[in-house]
A and B are shown apart, each in its own frame.
Chain A
């Protein structure tokens, strides 16, 4: 279930308030940081999907990442 929230979290991250700056930050510099932030966010998403795929094909299904299990458990509480 939590995978549906990742793109949403990335989308929401583009709506935070801008920081105060008294020097001109320069658009090129800010643009590259936005790009890096996006790539980093994309990287995290890909990594999580990849772990899911690995899990799907793994022979030993008991070898579940504890973190994933714990998160799933938490989500179950809200059902």
Chain B
């Protein structure tokens, strides 16, 4: 193990680095890092947060030297699936923001603070947020400011406000910018009435304004004053509490109900078809018993839940409908499911990006599912996005060794609706073409017709 195995995103804090080796996550600490870790550990905060599953479980280990600058090593528990803030539906980003603030408040009670507010330091175990960077903690210094306030706003608050106040989902902007939504830019589009809201003034408008309007001379003199001023601890705490209250009440602004929001209750096909589908998925999952299953086009997680109840250990769901995804988060919370629903545009998957194009890992490299299900899904890619049917089938089969794909006939009312305005420019979208594509890369195990309109489920094994 050497410096080359360092995690590509672990470079910001010189006091330590994370290494992933043989499916283990290790952290090397420098003298400075080890001191910081020991100082915080003495306060009992780590024990408290580990006990409530608020932070990643860590243990001190003896390890041969990875790098001469490291004096101590920690090993962290594995997170089942790494996800990024630009993939989190509103409910998950909100949960992450509240989690960060709760940890800050508990830390402050123990005279500890967080030195940053990176949203990437939070991961999800199912839909429960977990803080993963133990080196972000350090002892509180009397009178210090919250130095990560700006970062917190950009990575948590601003994207939530963008969606809650303006009705603009943050995902594409966040993914492009990677470090969140900048306060300066958000301030430009905040409505006039927000000038009368103390919360908007304090966290968005005034910080942005002071950044933009002060002259260089004024900035220098203000910086001097800021460097020598102090913030009483009680005010620091109040600041965090008010932010917590504000975020707790935020909801995505909806212009109208989305197409798939009430899909489970409004769908066109009949309940007999649904139960036939459920039985088929139950049989498939109980035969394969996947440790990790991916549900492409998971909607509100109805079939993810069926999979989990029939032996799947963990399901990652992907969809583009944000309202349906928030319902899926709710389903996972209420029924306590090992399920992580994520926003994902399959036609433009999360890429490898950031520093050296390696900092953030592409979605397909973040998990090794044993099974995949794609129900009522491929016609959206082949007919809605004009993707070649054969390529769509090959791409899905490549994901996992076992899978189920639903083929929806052209005569199906849903497809007819899709083609009404667009016109039928897809002569190659036939069940024969689908079967031939599937046979080219997999063995078909079982086929079942689940509807009167001829919807077919294909259970296959990759060859």
Contact = CB atoms under 8 A, between A and B. Distances in A.
Contacts of B115: 20-23
Given A19-B145, A25-B145, A27-B222, A32 B207 contact: yes
Interface in A31-53: 31-38, 40-41
Which secondary structure dominates where chain A touches chain B? helix
B230 A16 contact: yes
Contacts of A15: 228
B151 interface: yes
A34 B206 contact: no
Interface string A1-37: 0000000000001111111111111111111111111
A77 B264 CA distance: 77
A23 B207 CA distance: 17
B386 interface: no
Given A14-B229, A33-B146, A40-B232, A22 B211 contact: no
Given A18-B227, A28-B183, A31-B226, A23 B147 contact: yes
Given A21-B115, A22-B115, A28 B210 contact: yes
A28 B147 contact: no
Nearest to B146: A33
B333 interface: no
B214 to A, nearest CB: 8
Contacts of B228: 14-16, 18
Contacts of A33: 145-146, 149, 231, 239
B135 to A, nearest CB: 10
Given A16-B228, A33-B149, A34-B226, A28 B141 contact: no
Interface of A: 13-38, 40-41
27 contacts: A13-B230, A16-B229, A18-B227, A20-B138, A22-B115, A22-B116, A23-B116, A23-B147, A25-B145, A26-B151, A26-B183, A27-B210, A27-B211, A28-B206, A28-B210, A29-B150, A29-B207, A32-B203, A32-B210, A33-B145, A34-B225, A34-B226, A34-B229, A35-B206, A36-B202, A37-B229, A38-B229
Interface of B: 12-14, 115-116, 138, 141-151, 153, 183, 202-203, 206-211, 214, 219, 222-223, 225-232, 235, 239
Which 6 residue pairs are nearest across A and B when measured between Cβ atoms?
A: A28-B207, A26-B150, A19-B144, A21-B147, A29-B150, A28-B211
Given A33-B231, A37-B235, 16 more contacts: A14-B229, A14-B230, A16-B142, A16-B229, A25-B150, A26-B151, A26-B211, A29-B207, A31-B206, A32-B207, A33-B145, A34-B225, A34-B226, A37-B231, A37-B232, A41-B232
